[in-house]
Structure 1
C-alpha cells in the first residue's frame, strides 16, 4: 500500500477527494490532510507519504513552497499539483521542482485514480530497480573482495609484475609501499571434523578475531586464501624490528584465537625481505616452514630462522613436484610402482634420502595430492584420510621402503578419483553457474559472458561445457528459469504482463510476450485466464 497526503485550503475539495475514492482498490491509503503548507509540513514529515497532492494557491505557505521543501527533505515523494486555468504560468517552476503530475480543477475521482495508478506503477518500478541496484552493488562489493584476495595471492606467489603491483594496489586502495616486508601464513584447524556448518562457523570466528586485532593497523595487509587460512604481509622500516613484531603479533593472535574459538592455530613466518619483489621470496620461506608443522606439531609459531637453526642447514632445497603432478594427471595404474621407484632413486642420487628429506617429500606429495583431489571435486577427508593425519603417518615412516609403500597407496587413490571424475568433471562448475542464474535471472544484463566470468571460464569453453553437461544451451536454460518465475507471478499476483516482464529480466514487454507464446503456446494473458 502506498500513502497519500492531501493539502488544499478548501475543505469541500479535501472531503470530496478523501471520501469519493476507494483508496484500497488502487493500492493506496489516505494518510492525512491539511489546509495549507505550513500546517502540512510537520504532518508530512511524520507520515512520510509516497504521494503528495497539493493545491498551488493557499494561505501562509503555497503549494510550490511546500513542494520545494518536501522535495528537498523527502526526494522520493511523488508530487501531484492541483491547478486552475489561470495558474498554468506556475508550471515551469513546478517542473523544476520535480512535480510528477498536474491536475486541472475541478478534479473528478476517475481522473485522480488514473493518475495515482500511473504513479503507483512508477514507484513499483523504481523500487524494483533500486532492489536490483542494491543486489548488484552487493555482488560488486563481494566480487571486489574476491578479486583483491586473488590479486594478493598472485602477488605473494610472484605472478605479478612490479608495475601491475603498483597499479592494482592503487585500484584496491592497498598501501603496499615499505622498506621491508615479511609474509606470515596462519592456518586454523577446528576440532570439529564431521559438521561442516560448525567448522565454517569456527573459521568465521577465527577471521573475526584476526580482524578485530588488526583493525586500524596499517602495517599489516591481510587476505584470505582458503577457509581457515589467512596470509599477512607485514611491513616495516627496520629488519630486526619487523621480525620481532611478526612474532609478537603472532603470539597475540594465537592467544586470542585459542581463547575465543575452537580452533588450533599454526603460524609460519617467512624471512624479512627488501623491495616489493622480496614479498614473493618471503612467502616461499613461509610456505616452506608451513609444511614442517606436521613434523614439529600443529598449534605452534614457527619461523624460517627457527627452522634453519633446528636443522643446521644454510639452504633449503625445494623438491620439484612437476613430475608428481604430471603423473597424477596423466599416469596409469600399471606405472605406479616404476614411477615411485624412479622417484626414490632420484632422491638417493641427489643425496636427499635422509629421514628429514623423506618427511618433507612425503608432506609435499600429500599436499599436492590433496589439492588435486579437491580440484576434482572430491572430499579430501574421505578419499585421503592420510592428509588429515600426516603427523601420525610421519611416525611410521622409518625407512625408504615404508615411504615407497605409502606413496604408492596415495597415488592409487588419486588415480582412481581421476578416472571416476572424468565423466562429471564439470558438475560443480555447472551447478555453480545454475545457482548464479537462479539468483540473478531478473537482471536484464545477465549473459553467457557474465556467468562464464563468474565460474572463471572463457565464454566459448563455458558455452560448450554447459550444453554438454546440462543437455541444453545456456540461453534455453536462462529462458526456462525466467518463464518459470513469470508463470508463478501470473498465477499468484495481479501484476500486469509488462511489470512481470521487467521483473524477470526482459527490458521489452513485447519480446517477453513473444518468447512466452513461443515456449508456452499461449500469450501471458491467455495463460492467466486459463
Structure 2
C-alpha cells in the first residue's frame, strides 16, 4: 500500500475526499488528514508518505509553501494540488514544484480515481527503475571516475590496508603498474583572502577551477591522476616505469601547472613534491612528503616547487647567528631608531632563509625574536608594574601565516605600536615625576635645606634629567619655581598673620631674614614690610 497524506483546511471537503474513494482497492492507504500546512509538516517529521493531496489556500502555511519545504527532503513524494483557484500563477508555481496534478474543485470521484491510478503506476514504475540493476550499472559507470578518485585519495591517506591496495584499484580499473610513484600537492598562498578578493561570492568555485586547469594539463598522461584534496589543495599522482624520468617529468608538469594557474588567475601558488617510491602502496608516503615540503612555503616563498629532499636540513646555524641580529634589534629599540629596527628584522629573517633552518627551528626562532622584542621594551619602562605582557595571540597568529614577508610586516607593525606605547609611557612618567616634585615642594618648602639634589634623591632620578623635564613642563627652572612658591606663601603670611618678618622668613624656608628680604624685593618688587602695609 502506498501511503497518502491529505491536507485540507475545510473539514467537509477533507471528509469527502476520504470517503468517496475506495483507497485500498486502488493500492493506497490514507495515513493522515491534516487541517493545514503546519499540521502536515508536524506529521511528516516522523512519517514518510508516497502521495500528498493538498489544498493551496490555507492558514499558517499554504499548500505551495508546504510542498516547497517537503521537496527539500523528499524529491520522490508525489503531489496533487486540489484547489478552487484557477489562477495561472498558482499553476505555474505547481509546475515549478514538480507537482503531478493540478485539479480544480469540485472534482468527481471518477476524476480523482483516474488521477490516483496514474500516480500509482508512476510510483510503481519509479520503484522498479530504481531497483533495476542495469540502471544501477549505468549509474555506476557514470560515477566510476569519482569512485576512482575517492579510492586514490583513501590510498594517499593510508585508509586502505597495504595488502588490499592493488586489489581495490584493479576492481575500479585503476592502473597501478609502474616502477616509480611520486605525489605533488599544489596550494594557493593565502587562498582564502586572495580567493575572496578575486572571486567574491564565487569563491567556492576556485578549487574546482584549479582542478580543471591541472586536469587539462595532465590529459595527455593517462597514467597520472589529479585529485581535489581538502582545504583547496590539488593533488597530482605520477606513475612511471622509470624512477629518474618520472621524477623529472613530475617536476616539469608541476611547474607547468603553477605557471598556468598564475598566468590565468594571477595568484601566488606553491607546490610540495614528495620523494619517489617503488610501490603503488607507498603512494601515501610520497603524499606525506609533499605535505611536509608544502609546510616550508612560509620560508621558501611562493611560485616554486618545494622538494622534500631539499628541506631535509639541520644546520643549527640559525640559533648561533641569530644573536648578533637580536642585539642590533635591541639597540634599535633602545635608541628609538625605527629604520634600523625594520632593517635588522628583515636581515634576521633573511638569515633564517639562507641557513635553510628546519620548520621547528624556524618557529622557535620567531618566538625568540618576539620574546626578545617584548623584553627589551619592558626594560625601558620605569614603572615595572606597567610592563607590557607578551602577546601570545600575536605569536599564534604569526605561526599560522604562510607568507614570510607578511610575518615580517606584522612584527614591524607591532614594534611601531610598542614604540608609540613606550613614548606615551615616557611622557606620562615625566609628567608624574614633575607632579611628584611639585608635591614635595608644597610639603617641604619650609625646609631651608631643600634643593634640587634633595628632591632628586627622593625621586631616584638624576639632577640633570629632572631639571630638564621640570623646565620643559613648567617653563621655569626648579629654583625659580621653589622661590616663587615660597614668595606666595610669604605674601599670604604677611597679609593674614601677625608674625614678624624674620618668623615668616623661617616659615617659608629662609634661615637668613636679610636674604629672605632680598629675594622678596627682587621677586615682588617691594620689601616685606611695605607689602604688609599695602
Which TM class, normalised by the smaller chain length?
Answer: 0.3 to 0.5
Q: Which has the larger radius of gyration?
A: 2
Q: TM-score, with normalisation over the residues of structure 1?
A: 0.36
TM norm structure 2: 0.36
